[in-house]
Chains A and B, each alone.
Chain A
Amino acid sequence: EIVMTQSPATLSVSPGETATLSCRASQSVGSNLAWCQLKPGQAPRLLIYGASTRATGVPARFSGSGSGTEFTLSISSLQSEDFAVYYCQQYNNWPLGFGGGTKVEIK
């Protein structure tokens, strides 16, 4: 089973700044890495798949990078609606696996 590790657990950022979230896989997942966003009371939302491809309707301020075992989600010019919990997910191997999440909070 591939273990996904996200860091930091919590990231305090001021509106308008850039948030950089990290995700590490215990073995290579190629580019089969997705990011999703969770907000209380809302349906989770897919942001990025294929490590760097934005899902339909996702603003350009969200960008993903990386391959193999190291991945990054960057959120530039943070807006109020971006404060949420973000999860990475590998889909290179069964069982599919999520990281522990990074909470992006207002500084």
Chain B
Amino acid sequence: EVQLLESGGGLVQPGGSLRLSCAASGFTFSSYVMSWVRQAPGKGLEWVSTITGSGSITYYADSLKDRFTVSRDNSNNTLYLHMNNLRADDTAVYYCTKDRCSGCPGDYWGQGTLVTVSS
């Protein structure tokens, strides 16, 4: 059974940093593209970033690529999202997804972790 478990969310001050993790199980992690998608309170879904199975290629939403970095540790089946210089509008639930291919929609999603940026 595919399982994706996000962690690392919480309350952070504007300008701060946070690292989200997504622990994956139930599939061969290194073989799959993974992504992050977020949902701000009362808003719709927003794609954040995608990383290929080897980690060699990454993609970002234009508005985030200077502050967010996606990475993965295939030896520990874990996906990461490093977020710097956080702003109030980064407040959202962050989901990790397992994708069928690069650029494909997530076929499995985690339950998400809430990031709140506030002073």
Contact = CB atoms under 8 A, between A and B. Distances in A.
20 contacts: A34-B105, A36-B45, A36-B105, A38-B39, A38-B45, A43-B109, A43-B112, A46-B105, A49-B100, A49-B105, A87-B44, A89-B105, A91-B105, A95-B47, A95-B61, A96-B35, A96-B50, A98-B45, A98-B47, A100-B44
Interface of chain B, main secondary structure: strand
B109 A45 contact: yes
B46 interface: yes
Nearest to A101: B44
B55 interface: no
A94 B45 contact: no
A55 B107 CA distance: 8
Contacts of A56: 107
Contacts of B106: 36, 44, 46
Given A98-B44, A98-B45, 18 more contacts: A36-B45, A36-B105, A41-B111, A43-B108, A43-B109, A43-B111, A43-B112, A44-B106, A44-B109, A49-B100, A49-B104, A89-B47, A91-B104, A94-B103, A95-B61, A96-B103, A98-B47, A101-B44
A34 B109 CA distance: 14
Q: Which interface residue of A42, A91, A101 has the most chain B CB atoms within 10 A?
A: A91
Interface in A1-57: 1, 34, 36, 38, 41-46, 49, 55-56
Interface residues of B, number: 23
A91 B100 CA distance: 12
B39 to A, nearest CB: 8
Interface string A56-69: 10000000000000
A35 to B, nearest CB: 9
A23 to B, nearest CB: 12
Interface string B1-32: 00010000000000000000000000000000
